[in-house]
Amino acid sequence: MMAPVKIFGVLGAGFGAALLLRPRAVITAIGADPDLPGLIPAARVLGARHLVQGVTLAIAPTRVARLSALVDGVHAASMYGLAAVAPRYRRAALASAGVASALGVGVGVRS
């Protein structure tokens, strides 16, 4: 059976791969407008970050769990801030913050 922290790594990597490979589909699925300026490239960059972070977490959970939780926490905070100041990007920012919060808390509680 896979360790709980590794599961969050796999989930994060899967989400990252989806953002990297199919950003328009993910953005549309959360109800945001994929045609907002810069949203597709930002989703791909975020997807690459989630993919690398998730794979690293799945491979070496005890070594990177706390750092991973911290990165997700900082990302979530930045997205809550973006949602507060940029109404056009609010839905995408809140979805991104929610995913980062869930992954960060899930990893942080188990590390």
Which pLDDT band holds residue 108 (cuts at 50, 70, 90)? confident
Average pLDDT over residues 34-62: 97
Give yes or no for a contact between 5 and 110, defined as CB atoms under 8 angstroms apart.
Answer: yes
Which pLDDT band holds residue 66 (cuts at 50, 70, 90)? very high
Q: What angle do CA 66, 71, 74 make, to 5 degrees?
A: 125
- Domain with 41 in it: 4-110
How many CB atoms within 10 Å of residue 49? 16
Judge whether residue 111 has pLDDT over 80. Answer: no
Average pLDDT over residues 12-24: 98
Q: Report the interhelical angle of 39-59 vs 4-21 (nearest 10°).
A: 150
Burial classification of residue 34, based on how many CB atoms lie within 10 Å of its CB (0-12 exposed, 13-18 middle, 19 or more buried)? middle
Name which of 22, 31, 6, 21 is nearest 95 in CA terms: 31
Which pLDDT band holds residue 38 (cuts at 50, 70, 90)? very high
pTM greater than the 0.75 cutoff: yes
What is the number of domains present in the chain? 1
